[in-house]
A and B are shown apart, each in its own frame.
Chain A
């Protein structure tokens, strides 16, 4: 019985990992499909769909837009979240609990509703749809996350170091950038990384708030309206490949930091 348990466990894990990877494997496989439809039988391999994707300027500019938006909004969300976490952790404000609740409230609201609210408000104010408008929405969904992560890492042990720095004559902003931020590096990074993940693949808010310059998920959605083809498999595989490379790079960078 005891010997069975590990094999059962491994079998279970393998089945679940298989389940998790199944659509992606099919995705990548049929991106090399030779004929029009990404369904069996597999006629290939062929690179024609990758060529089509790279030649499609709307897709490639959407890819760049997504990356820029993800990085910009994540940085901004981390920045706002860090400042707010610092303020609420180090100082006693009236209504601290309320403020904390307010800043984390968007976590509870569906992206669809956040997007719709902004759509309605911008409409009423005459603010045109754009990538920036979608960016605002992305910061709204990522700020609570960054705040919550960083706030949870704020502790008493850091206060003493900060006080020491202040005693030595450091100004507030210097304490923040030279002491607090580096100490909180893992939390800042986690917040940034998670925000990037959510923003990069976010569909509904971008769909509702952009016009022509749009993000990759929205562009793919439009692409799919025009007909299912292995072209979407190709772009999905490219995105997948880019992510793997990015994770590898991050791992190396983080690993190298650890060794120092």
Chain B
């Protein structure tokens, strides 16, 4: 009886692990271990095939202006993209949540997502052609008299930012919409009862309550944008390099995995710092 109970105890102690175990194991095996492998490899160097540990790759990043410039570029571009996308998305999310009749809202959302069901790579090339000197945008601007001659829009930082904003406006619209829908209608009614105008209600009730939703969306935008290779590579024309391009350059041109690993870890560090900052901000907000 006692033995059976002990096995029973063990079984019920192990039971939660049957459920949480597989996912944990998967994450450790295919996420944590690769990161560890990358950390080890980043300490090796390519020339001389050396597997002695050294910080040469990291030193190279901080010493070489072309390298740390890529990080600065990435931060600048990502910051602009995040701010612009939030500013454009909030009003749209508002219109969808408030202005559009309930039964058409889901359709409106699906319509907003639909264009992103074309292939990402093809969509980026499509933007390149739309923005090119012989493309639609220039044609329209010249034909309408706003410009005398086509202007260079493609292969610039502007094009990269536009390509990013295109996607993230959609993403942020969705997250802010979800956040707005969660707001109890009673809050607004209460504020109106107390004599608040629309603008005041927005500033003091709605905006603060939807801030967490905005922050989550903004953080997601930041992480996805800063690590993206396709958009800057296709739309930027190599007129400047962002971090993902610098990393892929090491892999593609020279197979320099140690340097690529070091650069990747530096990128991850920056994102982690951003995460901690965002998490701290959210905690402060809640308090």
Contact = CB atoms under 8 A, between A and B. Distances in A.
Interface string A96-110: 000100110111111
Identify whether the interface residues of A are mostly helix, strand, loop, or mixed. helix
B119 A120 contact: no
Contacts of B229: 112, 203-204
Contacts of B132: 39
Contacts of A124: 37
A40 interface: yes
Contact of B110 (A39, A111, A204, A247): A247
Contacts of B209: none
Interface residues of A, number: 79
Given A12-B91, A24-B118, A99-B20, A6 B112 contact: no
A140 interface: yes
B17 interface: yes
A187 interface: no
Contact of B38 (A9, A90, A111, A120): A120
Interface string A72-101: 000000001101101110111100000100
Given A102-B27, A201-B120, A87 B18 contact: yes
Given A113-B227, A120-B257, A87 B19 contact: yes
Interface in A194-226: 197, 201, 203-204, 208, 216-217, 220-221, 224
Give the bracket for the number of chain B residues in contact with chain A: 35 or more
Contacts of A188: none
Nearest to B248: A112
A191 interface: no
B23 interface: yes
Interface stretch (B58-66, B133-141, B180-188): B133-141
B30 A243 contact: no
B121 A40 contact: no
Contact of A20 (B28, B119, B170, B267): B170
B167 to A, nearest CB: 9
A240 interface: yes
B119 A87 contact: no
A224 B125 contact: yes
A138 to B, nearest CB: 10
A22 B261 contact: no
A27 B23 contact: no
Contact of A121 (B33, B130, B248, B260): B33
Nearest to B274: A108
B95 A13 contact: yes
Nearest 8 pairs of A and B residues by beta carbon: A110-B227, A87-B19, A117-B34, A243-B117, A91-B16, A236-B122, A84-B23, A87-B20
Given A87-B18, A109-B223, A236-B126, 20 more contacts: A12-B91, A13-B92, A13-B95, A13-B96, A24-B118, A24-B126, A27-B126, A80-B23, A91-B20, A92-B16, A93-B16, A102-B24, A103-B23, A116-B260, A120-B37, A203-B229, A216-B119, A224-B125, A239-B119, A243-B118
29 contacts: A10-B99, A13-B99, A23-B115, A23-B126, A23-B127, A26-B130, A27-B126, A38-B129, A83-B19, A83-B22, A84-B20, A86-B19, A90-B16, A93-B20, A103-B24, A105-B27, A108-B223, A108-B275, A112-B247, A113-B35, A113-B264, A116-B251, A116-B264, A147-B23, A203-B229, A204-B229, A224-B125, A233-B126, A244-B117
Interface of B: 15-24, 26-28, 30-35, 37-38, 41, 88, 91-92, 95-96, 99, 110-112, 114-123, 125-127, 129-130, 132, 134-136, 139, 166, 169-170, 223-224, 226-230, 244, 247-248, 251, 257, 260-261, 264-265, 267-268, 271-272, 275
